[in-house]
Amino acid sequence: MTGPRYTKLAAALPATVPFVGPEELQRKRGAPFRARLGANESVFGPSPFAVAAMQDEAGEIWKYADASHEELKAALAQQLGMTPANILIGEGIDGLLGYAVRLLVEPGDAVVTSEGAYPTFNYHVAGFGGTLHKVPYADDREDLRALLAKAHETDAKIVYLANPDNPMGTFVKGSDIAQALDDLPEGCTLMLDEAYVEFAPAEAVPQIAADDDRVIRFRTFSKGYGMAGARVGYAMSHPDVIKSFDKIRNHFGMNRAAVAGALAAQQDQEWLHEVIALVKHSKAEITRIAADNGLTCVPSATNFVAVDCGADGDFARKVLAELAEDGVFVRMPFVAPQDRCIRISAGAADDMAVLAEALPKALARARAKA
């Protein structure tokens, strides 16, 4: 036998990518997209101060980043009313979710999530041999009570909840999440993904003590701060939980320039508030364009809108394909009945103009093929 001897687990897993990126889709179609509205990035970009900070740091890129990330943690701690010991910096929420699963999940351990929720989390659980147990959405929202019931039924190590949710953009009340911590099974951790928290109403954000070791909260600079390509995220929990990540994390995994950019972005709250206003306006435009075409939207607490195409998933997939053929990149939920929708990220005025022109044609062609 030649070649590496893979673990039995790795050998049994398919080589999959949770999301096919727009660059790959562009290569397949042989042309760039006219409007990139599928990855929930911020087309409005990062703070100019963040861009300048990353440019200034380019000359120092021969150095590794500070593995403790103390400066960024201190700034976040002051903003959030906690201590730097409550915070871990990592390679986006995706990277941090991978570390958390590695820390908590052994082969066969039960993990609970929602059917159709963020697939990258599922990818990490499968990669470490965990057993996923899923519950359906209820009224296009993650069903917190069902998640907890399934956790008790399976003696789950983790309950994963995105709030606000991707792909539907809905949210569970923060007060309900805070109360739910008392109903977690013994030894079960709530992994609370708050990637879109900057766009959410105050009632969506739970008031949880920074030292509560029953929950790990995850946030990012990818969405509101417009730094998706920089891959900077952070986790918050009890200092003992945060310290435990030092056993398994890649200590020098962060890009030095990206960390400098994140610090500058965090300090420019005026830019963040401007982006939030631009996203709100764009979501209203998406809703208007949908209504002009006889479609309805799921109310959104994120930087995207789930647009109900008015039929089933097969029809929505046809609409998606027709939009892509016309140079508009959007995505859609994977699981019925949420797959009746397409998911459109907030965009600039030019993006909205392209969407307004392309959507009626895509709907007409999809209806003709249906």
Question: Could you read off the pLDDT of 253-289 as tens digits, one per residue?
Answer: 999 999 999 999 999 999 999 999 999 999 999 999 9
Answer whether 302's CB lies under 8 Å from 169's CB.
Answer: yes
Contact 264, 77 (CB under 8 A): no
> What pTM, to 2 d.p., does this model score?
0.96
Mean pLDDT value across the chain? 97
171, 142 contact by CB (below 8 A): no
Beta strands in 201-275 (DSSP E): 215-220, 233-236
Q: Which residues contact 56 (CB under 8 A, 6 or more apart)?
A: 260
Percent of the chain at pLDDT exceeding 70: 100
> 267 with 56: CB under 8 angstroms?
no
Q: How confident is the model at residue 352 (pLDDT cuts 50, 70, 90)?
A: very high
342: pLDDT strictly greater than 70: yes
Q: If we measure between CA atoms, which residue out of 68, 54, 91 comes closest to residue 260?
A: 54
Residue type, 322: E
pLDDT confidence of residue 117: 96
How many helices (H) and strands (E) the chain has is answered by 13, 12
**Rounded to an integer, what distance in angstroms lies between the CA atom of residue 122 and that of residue 133?**
10
User: pLDDT at position 19, please?
Assistant: 82
Q: Between 124 and 15, where is the model more confident?
A: 124
Q: What is the mean pLDDT of residues 345-356?
A: 98
- Please give the distance of CA 128 from its chain centroid, rounded to a whole number: 20
Domains of the chain: 8-45+270-369 (3.90.1150.10), 48-268 (3.40.640.10)
Mean predicted confidence (pLDDT) in 233-262: 98
Residue found by looking up tokens 């008015």 in the block: 310
pLDDT (0 to 100) of residue 279 = 98
**Residue 38 CB neighbour total at 10 angstroms:** 24
Question: Residue 1 above 70 pLDDT?
Answer: no
What is the pLDDT confidence band of residue 18, given thresholds at 50, 70 and 90? confident
Q: If residue 73 lies in a helix (H) or strand (E), which one and from where to where? A: helix 70-80
How does pLDDT run across 60-109, given as a tens digit for each residue? 999 999 999 999 999 999 999 999 999 999 999 999 999 999 999 999 99
